[in-house]
Amino acid sequence: MESAEIARRFLRFFEERGHTIVPSASLIAEDPTLLLVPAGMVPFKPYFLGQRTPPARRLASAQKCVRTPDIDEVGKTTRHATFFQMLGNFSFGDYFKDEAIPFAWELLTKPESDGGFGFAEDKLWVTVYLDDDEAADIWHKKVGVPLERIQRRGIIDNFWSMGVPGPCGPCSEIYYDRGPEYGVDGGPIADENRYLEVWNNVFMQFERGAGGAKEDFPILGELPSKNIDTGMGLERMAAILQGVDNIYEIDTTYKILDRAAELTKSRYGRDPRADISLRVIADHVRTGTMLVADGVLPSNEGRGYVLRRILRRSIRNLRLLGSGEDRYMHELTGVAIDVMGEQYPELKADAPQIHGVIDAEEASFLGTLRTGTAIFDVAVEETKRKGAGTLGGEQAFQLHDTYGFPIDLTLEMASEHGLKVDEEGFRRLMKEQRDRAKADAKAKKTGNADISVFGQLLERTGKVDFLGYDHVTAESGIVGILLDGVSVPAAGAGSTVEIVLGRTPFYAEGGGQLADQGVIRTDSAEFDVVDVQSPIKGVIVHRGKVRSGELRVGDQAQAEIDVERRRAISRSHTATHLVHRGFRNALGETAAQAGSENSPGRFRFDFTAAGAVPPSVLRDVEDEVNAVLIGDLRVNAFHTTQAEARAMGALALFGEKYGDTVRIVEVGDYSRELCGGTHVASSGQLGLVKVLGEASIGAGVRRVEALVGLDAFRFLARESLLVAQLSEQLKARREELPERVEGIVTRLRAAEKELERLRSAQVLEVAGELVAGAADQHGVAVVTHRAPAGITPDDLRKLALDVRGRFPAERAAVVVVAGVPSDRPVVVAAVNDAGRGRGLRAGQLVGVAAKALGGGGGGKDDVAQGGGARPEAIGDALRAVETAISAALA
């Protein structure tokens, strides 16, 4: 039975039993305390905590999940994986144990021909919590499981909580006996390899207090409303129903593994080391594909770092299998899209964008590998030569900071060489480099406590109505005031607070559009709105300062946005849509939006692209967009179903998740996108769009910045004035300026080269005099010389080498020259072979001089360079060198 069919049967079974089917939430967790969704119940967490009301009392879902704490074990075992899917049914104060337990048993044991999974009843074992007699009785008396196949386990195995105060309760798990070839007899308590867990029923019936995450906490009492949370691992179920040994051999994983083996000319099952690499590749390619599909982009922080690490581990393991410089991720990603596409059709629709991101990361990392691996090998060789067992934190930091090597990769590669890494030193250097104290003022509040306040407000007052599409002012009552995340009844002048209205014209930041600003007035107070956010769906929060008077919950208020700011932002937002369409027309559908910011008079637009966009393409897109403005196309917004929107060809923001009903914004027949932002009435209102340029902001992602309206006109006016001034100064017509400037630059460079030649010749002119005037110390020719002002470090080096080269090979000689380029002294020492034979070393001599100059330096025995901060000490430095030479020779 294929994985997609397993999911279909599960959801169909519970839909027939009154459950509302909820699509998988994005892997990007809505809970700000999580980077990614690690468990099937996470999207339902606000319902269990009472922060929001569920859409129905019975729900069921097939949820995508990613967990990476055990990422280093992936591939080494056949049990660990980073991506998996959890099938779950949930009850919120509806049914409890007496229905949840029979539901699970019925679906598992019902024949496949009747829509079940066809498990033999005598193959199933059950565990319950130690004192959960109620569950044990239901299993035995109602379902008919023999007592000898019901085992009791303690709090570690069969009691669940979120790890924080809140709902908790006992678990009851169902295990499948794979047979004696997989382990010993005796049920799950004897061997969890032979007896494989396939279903977990969580009975949320108690409230726990603060304490240890797993077992050290008090039970405060029973919940007023009991809930059910169940989970069935789709991949594990597929392994059993498909008759394979592990999750790497099921349909949605093995096809990737098999293709990776074919591409790298490997064979699964022959070489344990190759098997590990193949399993890593299969798991990580699937995980990376799903993360990119949900809008995660490779970066060096947060969930972007998780993705980058996963993709780079895949690429490196391909190299370990002998892929060399060949790029296989595109094909393997295609296999992942095919095998997962039946369950998630959006993968196929978004395939070009997914390929674009992963292909770019592969190209970037292959270059990193080439450079970084060479540096790493040198560091390993040096560490082993010293007899040390730990790679220094400085070396690990250099690999990360200079060559883009993730610390995880350094740790992994060092382990392969039998070395450890000074992680503490690495972390210290990273901390010194970053300013971790900086916080995003517009970020959502974190933690359940803050979210809970907004959830309770939503429960009490209902959804906030947004009127801003049609109105710039509105009357409404103040339904909530928050001070430092805590609800308060009133706020006086000077207070910085958050205000919630029953309805508002203020747009909350989202979809790349900056928030509105403005003022909220009551009969007795004024409040300046500087930011607007939506911390949870349905709540709009106005952040700012009470300018005068006192605001009170229940007061009637007049909300008024800054109209000119809104209009300028709306022009930018509409321009972003047009530029998006323009780049798609120019570069193809792979140029998918990867982010934007629409601010007054200007915007930035991020999109996926394999490389830099040629200037000619930028000009063409700019021309095309401004032609649309001249056409003054009508901008129309309307709501429809998501399916209808796709059928119309409306563009959706890559990785963004939308509800069943979506809002479409179209500009004539030119552009059509899903969007919740505000826009102009017609394209002509934009006036002018001026693209300033584009640049890379990460592997496979480019950023375009542009101006709109008056800002664009003012920019061009300044540019025109500048061109007029150049034309006047150079006595050339505007169209002649490029050629004229190029000629001036060419002549200037030629003059600089000639000056450089003359300066070098002048410096070297004194070489003969220095050789002739060399002092003799114990049979060694010694030259110490202070060069004139204006000399370059390169000239100093040339002079030292030229003077040294004029002495006969058999004559021991040492040359030390010093000068002051750019206000900082530099010293160069050169010693010939005969001089080194007398024990003189250039690096040591430079060290002596540099110390006198208040600096440092060194180098090889034959030539070395150093410097300092005390130009007035050059004479002392040269005398110190002479003394050191005399002492060494004596």
| CATH, residue 823 | 3.10.310.40
Asked if residue 157 is part of any domain, the answer here is yes
pLDDT for 601-616, tens place per residue? 999 999 888 788 999 9
Residue 602 pLDDT:
95
Asked if residue 128 is part of any domain, the answer here is yes
Asked if residue 54 is part of any domain, the answer here is yes
- Tell me the CATH number at 662: 3.30.980.10
**326 and 260 fall within a common domain:** yes
Q: Are 296 and 27 in contact (CB under 8 A)?
A: yes
Q: Is 850 exposed, middle or buried (0-12, 13-18, 19+ CB in 10 A)?
A: buried
**Which residues does the annotation place in the binding site for Zn(2+)?**
573, 577, 675, 679
Residue 404 pLDDT:
66
**141 and 21 fall within a common domain:** yes
Count Cα neighbours of 632 within 13 Å in the Cβ-side half-sphere.
2
**314 and 174 fall within a common domain:** no
**203 and 61 fall within a common domain:** yes
H or E segment to which residue 569 belongs: helix 563-587
**16 and 155 fall within a common domain:** yes
Which has the closest alpha carbon to 45: 88, 101, 16? 88
pLDDT for 776-804, tens place per residue? 998 999 999 998 876 788 888 888 998 99
Residue 471 pLDDT:
95
108-127 in b/e form (b: 16+ CB < 10 A) is: bbbeeeeeebebeeebbbbb
Residue 400 pLDDT:
77
pTM of the model: 0.67
The SS3 assignment for 611 reads coil
Parent domain of 546:
451-561
Asked which of 333, 350, 367 is the last residue of a domain, the reply is: 350
CA 511 to chain centre: 18
Q: Is the dihedral of CA 621, 626, 630, 634 positive or negative?
A: positive
**257 and 221 fall within a common domain:** no
- Proportion of the chain in helix, strand, coil states, percent, rounded to 5: 45, 25, 30
Asked which of 350, 367, 391 is the last residue of a domain, the reply is: 350
Count Cα neighbours of 746 within 13 Å in the Cβ-side half-sphere.
6
Number of domains, the chain: 5
Asked if residue 726 is part of any domain, the answer here is no
**Which residues does the annotation place in the binding site?**
573, 577, 675, 679
Q: Are 883 and 851 in contact (CB under 8 A)?
A: no
- State the chain's maximal CA–CA distance in angstroms: 112
**10 and 76 fall within a common domain:** yes
d(CA 729, CA 99): 89
Residue 439 pLDDT:
39
Residue 766 has phi, psi (to 5 degrees) of -85, -5
**543 and 607 fall within a common domain:** no
- Tell me the CATH number at 514: 2.40.30.130
**137 and 275 fall within a common domain:** no
Find the Cα–Cα–Cα–Cα dihedral 116, 121, 125, 129, rounded to 10°.
Answer: 70
Asked which of 561, 596, 626 is the last residue of a domain, the reply is: 561
Residue 403 pLDDT:
67
* Gap between the terminal Cα atoms of the chain: 89
**278 and 147 fall within a common domain:** no
pLDDT below 70 — which residues of the chain?
Answer: 213, 402-404, 433-451, 653-659, 699, 763, 790, 858
Q: Are 607 and 702 in contact (CB under 8 A)?
A: yes
Residue 540 pLDDT:
94
Cα dist. 595→372, 653, 738 in Å? 30, 8, 35
- Tell me the CATH number at 221: 3.30.930.10
Asked if residue 598 is part of any domain, the answer here is yes
Residue 444 pLDDT:
38
**59 and 8 fall within a common domain:** yes
**227 and 293 fall within a common domain:** no
Asked if residue 133 is part of any domain, the answer here is yes
Asked if residue 751 is part of any domain, the answer here is no
217-251 in b/e form (b: 16+ CB < 10 A) is: beeeeebeebbbbbbbbbbbbbbbbeeeebbbbbb
Asked if residue 735 is part of any domain, the answer here is no
